[in-house]
Amino acid sequence: MTPASVVDMMRECLLAAFWLAAPLLAIGFFVGIAISLVQIATSMQDSAFSTIPRLAAFLLGLLLMMPWMLHKSMAYTIGLLGDLGRYAR
């Protein structure tokens, strides 16, 4: 295995991880901003008020994005294991 193929394999791995994590991180970011704005407007600084909606948004996002995430991770795994003979050289 050449260094270029290792770099390419690591790049594909990191890109797959990025695309799997990005939607949930974006949901958490936007829900966190919205909750912070509501807390600023109402002067309510309860930690449960900021945690519970964010966790609910993560759960809803995970449930909605799960088929897409499963498809992406399966495509990466199939691509990696399908070329296993090429990596063994």
Question: Which pLDDT value is given to residue 89?
Answer: 67
Domain positions in the chain are 3-88
Structure-block tokens of residue 40:
């600023």
Q: What is the pLDDT of residues 21-70, one digit of tens each?
A: 999 999 999 999 999 999 889 888 887 788 898 999 999 999 999 999 99
Interacting residues of 5 by C-beta distance below 8 A, sequence separation 6+ = 86, 87
Comparison of pLDDT for 8 and 87, the residue scoring more: 8
Question: Which pLDDT value is given to residue 73?
Answer: 95
Confidence check: pLDDT of 13 > 90: yes
| 9 burial level (CB within 10 Å; 0-12, 13-18, 19+) | middle
Comparison of pLDDT for 76 and 5, the residue scoring more: 76
What pTM value is reported for the model?
A: 0.78
